């Protein structure tokens, strides 16, 4: 239990007690107060932390405990059974390229058979950020001959890992090859 006492006049005022309690809650919350954004888009080639690379430089998933010990201050994203890197966790040293505030709306549609896609309409800020990311990824592809891999995450879990040149649109990003459940969940949870 935290007890705050002060000898200053007015400290017993209800507003002061509320302010002090709020500050104490924020201090005690620590890392939980800095929760990951609901939606995040990372570029695997530029954002991945060293702890998520093996000795050859390839992507490696690990347990969350291992990554937290090796990658301080990183953002952690869970890879489940549908992840191209295997089951486990990835650590990203850089912040996401796009976040929830960059998405204006999301709509799920069926492609064919069991495959669905999500169209993410970008805000003005999102379009500017996507344009910079796509341009840099195109330059890296021209140099290396390989496209960047993007990691789309919702609530700290990957839902797609397409190549950068598979995600189309200037004002809308279209992410395909999703299950019906995933596509609808993404559309439902984003604005």
Q: How many CB atoms lie within 10 A of CB 107?
A: 15
| CATH domain 99-189 topology | Gyrase A; domain 2 (3.30.1360)
How large is the average pLDDT for residues 24-35? 39
Answer whether 0.85 is exceeded by the pTM: no
* 149 to 2, 73, 84, 118, 164: CA distances (angstroms): 47, 22, 10, 18, 6
* pLDDT for residue 176: 93
Tokens, residue 129: 């950020």
In this prediction, residues 32-38 reach a mean pLDDT of 54
Per-residue confidence band for 72, with pLDDT thresholds at 50, 70 and 90: confident
pLDDT category, 32, cuts 50, 70, 90?
very low
The domain segmentation of the chain, as residue ranges, is 35-92, 99-189
How many CB atoms lie under 10 A from the CB of residue 53?
13
Q: What is the DSSP string of 4-64?
A: ----STTTTSHHHHHHHHHHHHHHHHGGGGGPPPSEEEEEHHHHB-GGGB-TTS-B--B-H
Closest CA to 190 of 41, 32, 35, 31: 41
Supply φ then ψ for residue 172, to 5 degrees.
Answer: -140, 130
Render pLDDT for 118-158 as a digit per residue (tens, 0 to 9).
999 999 999 999 999 999 999 999 999 999 999 999 999 99
Band of residue 10 on the pLDDT scale cut at 50, 70, 90: low
Q: What is the pLDDT of residues 81-122, one digit of tens each?
A: 789 999 999 999 999 999 999 999 999 999 998 999 999 999
pLDDT of residue 71: 87
SS3 190: coil
Res 18 pLDDT > 70: no
């Amino acid at each position: 239990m935290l007890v705050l006492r002060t000898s200053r006049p007015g400290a017993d005022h209800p507003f002061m007690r509320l302010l002090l309690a709020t500050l104490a809650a924020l201090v005690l919350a620590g890392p939980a107060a800095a929760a990951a954004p609901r939606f995040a888009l990372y570029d695997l080639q530029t954002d991945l932390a060293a702890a998520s690379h093996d000795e050859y430089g390839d992507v490696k998933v690990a347990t969350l405990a291992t990554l937290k010990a090796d990658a301080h201050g990183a953002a952690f994203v869970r890879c489940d059974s549908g992840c191209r890197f295997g089951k486990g966790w990835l650590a990203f040293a850089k912040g996401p390229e796009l976040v929830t505030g960059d998405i204006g709306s999301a709509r799920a549609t069926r492609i064919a058979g069991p495959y669905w896609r999500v169209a993410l309409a970008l805000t003005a800020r999102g379009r500017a950020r996507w344009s910079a990311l796509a341009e840099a990824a195109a330059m890296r592809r021209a140099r290396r001959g390989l496209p960047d891999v993007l990691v789309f995450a919702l609530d700290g879990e990957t839902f797609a890992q397409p190549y950068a040149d598979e995600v189309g649109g200037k004002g809308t990003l279209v992410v395909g090859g999703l299950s019906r459940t995933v596509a609808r969940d993404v559309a439902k949870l984003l604005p």
